[in-house]
Amino acid sequence: MIRFLNAALVIAVLIAASIVYGLERESRLADGRLGKINRAIAEEREQIRRLRAEWSYLNTPARLEKLAVKHLQHAPSPVSQVIKLNEVESRVPGLAPEGEAGGDDAIATMLDGNVAAVEGEVPQQPAQPDLIGNILKGME
């Protein structure tokens, strides 16, 4: 009887030990994974910060202005071009019910012309310009 009990207990101890070891190992691995994920998150955050800084640099109004002047044939829209919605019919030739001859071509040609102008001049950018480098270089 007591021998049986002893044997059972030894087996129980072995089983318990292996379970505890398994749990401990699992938790250690999980901890490692957690650390790795946390580092990855920090890395991603840093990337996001960097990209946001680069995006902001790309959106610098002075830069956009320079590019717009260079590549677009647009000018700031004069106030005379801003009209109320109910005046659209009388001001845009293609929309006037009588002037069907001109049709909607007026707008289409306008658009086509501009699209062509834009398409023709977009320069080939290097794959990954070092923008942060540019910001720092801009320090004269």
Partner 1 sequence: MTDPAQKVTFFMVVRWLFAKALGSTDATGLPNFKQGRARGRLVLAVFVLCFVAISGRIIQLAVFDDGFNRIRTSSTAKVRIPRPDIIDRNGFVLATDLRTGSMFANPRKVNDIDEAIELLSPHLPDLDVGKLRKKLQSDKGFVWVKREVTPRLQETLHDLGIAGFGFRNETRRIYPMSRLASHVLGFVDVDSVGLAGIEKYLDDRGRLFAASLADPHKAAAAPVELSLDVRVQHGLTEELKRAVKKYKAKGALGIVMDATTGEVVASSSLPDFNPNDPKDALKKDRINRFTGGVFEMGSVFKAVTFAMAFEQRTITLQSRFDVRAPLRAGGSKIDDFHPQRRILTVPEVFTYSSNIGTAKMALGVGVDAHQAFLEKMGFFDRLRTEIPEAAAPLRPRKWRTVSTMTASFGHGISVQPLQLVSAAAALVNGGRLITPTFLKRDRELVPSHSRQVISAETSKKMRYLFRLNVEKGSGRKAETTGFSVGGKTGTAEKVVGGRYSKKHRFNSFLGAFPMNAPRYVLVVSIDEPQPLPETHGFATSGWNAVPTAGKVIARIAPLLGLRPETEPVAAESILNARVGG
By the criterion CB under 8 A, which residues form the site for partner 1? 2, 9, 16, 45-46, 49-50, 52-57, 59-62, 65, 76-80, 82, 84, 128, 130, 132-133, 135-136, 138-140
Nearer to partner 1, 51 or 117 (CB): 51
Tokens of 22: 């398994």
Decide: 50 and 123 in contact? Cβ < 8 Å: no
Nearer to partner 1, 33 or 105 (CB): 33
Alpha helical stretches, state H, 1-140: 2-58, 61-71, 88-91, 105-121, 131-137
How many angstroms from the chain centroid is the CA of residue 78? Answer: 33
Q: How far is the CB of 121 from partner 1 (least distance, A)?
A: 23
Nearer to partner 1, 9 or 117 (CB): 9
Nearer to partner 1, 76 or 120 (CB): 76
How many angstroms from the chain centroid is the CA of residue 33? Answer: 27
Q: How far is the CB of 137 from partner 1 (least distance, A)?
A: 9
Residue 57 burial (10 A CB sphere; 0-12, 13-18, 19+) = middle
Q: How far is the CB of 128 from partner 1 (least distance, A)?
A: 7
How many angstroms from the chain centroid is the CA of residue 20? Answer: 46
Q: How far is the CB of 119 from partner 1 (least distance, A)?
A: 26
